[in-house]
Amino acid sequence: MKFKLLFVGAALLAGSLIQAQGLHFGVKGGANITKVDGKAMSDEFNYGYHLGGFAEVGLGKKWFIQPELLWSQLQSQTGDDFEDVIDGAIEGSKNQTIKLNYLTIPITLNYRLLDWLSLQAGPQFGVLLDNDKSLLENGKDAFDAGDFSLLGGAQINFSSFRITGRYFTSLKDINSGDVESSDANAAWKNKGFQISLGIRIL
């Protein structure tokens, strides 16, 4: 419910931004380099991708807001001890690749440090579009339906092209609650980097 309210708020914000001056739109895509951080998960980063669109809303000469709507695939792996540590883990679930497909809405506040370089930071809201049922017995969902992250990075602005590098980390536990470890409740968080290329088309 709370994630629905967050998305409604984001939609209202986007509607109000349409009335702003200096509004531009573009498309973007790129690589996700991510992992699920937590007990019984691998520390290795894995590659996924993201595709979608963005807007730029001017707030003067130095500041602008950049809301985005992205399809984002995050990949990770279970650890060597997954079956030993996680209660209800099925046989063969260790060292298994996990693909989590999210619909994400990053909303960053950008500062033009130079004409061609902007610094950016802000929240990212995510809704999980599918869930991995192959990790636990009885078809239980391992991952929560929503995520909330903070991100920060920099963006190179060259004519209509945008080259962006970001780091993001979840602020909430994406464990669905069906996952328990033999030691304590397993807290899992998405972490990683995004590298993308975008082009402003309007």
When pLDDT is averaged across residues 120-127 and rounded to a whole number, the result is 97
Does 185 or 139 have the greater pLDDT score? 139
pLDDT for position 63: 95
Q: Which pair of tokens denotes residue 2?
A: 């709370």
The neighbour count for residue 48, using CB atoms within 10 Å, is 19
Does pLDDT of 5 surpass 60? no
Residue 157 contacts residue 54 (beta carbons within 8 Å): no
Average pLDDT in the chain:
87
Element (H, E) at 28: strand 23-37
Handedness of CA 104, 70, 150, 14 (dihedral sign): negative
Does pLDDT of 139 surpass 80? no
Domain ranges of the chain: 2-200
Residue 177 contacts residue 140 (beta carbons within 8 Å): no
What pTM value is reported for the model? Answer: 0.84
State whether CATH 1.20.120.1730 applies to domain 2-200: no
* pLDDT-based confidence at residue 28 (cuts at 50, 70, 90): very high
The neighbour count for residue 160, using CB atoms within 10 Å, is 12
Helices (H), 24-152: 82-85
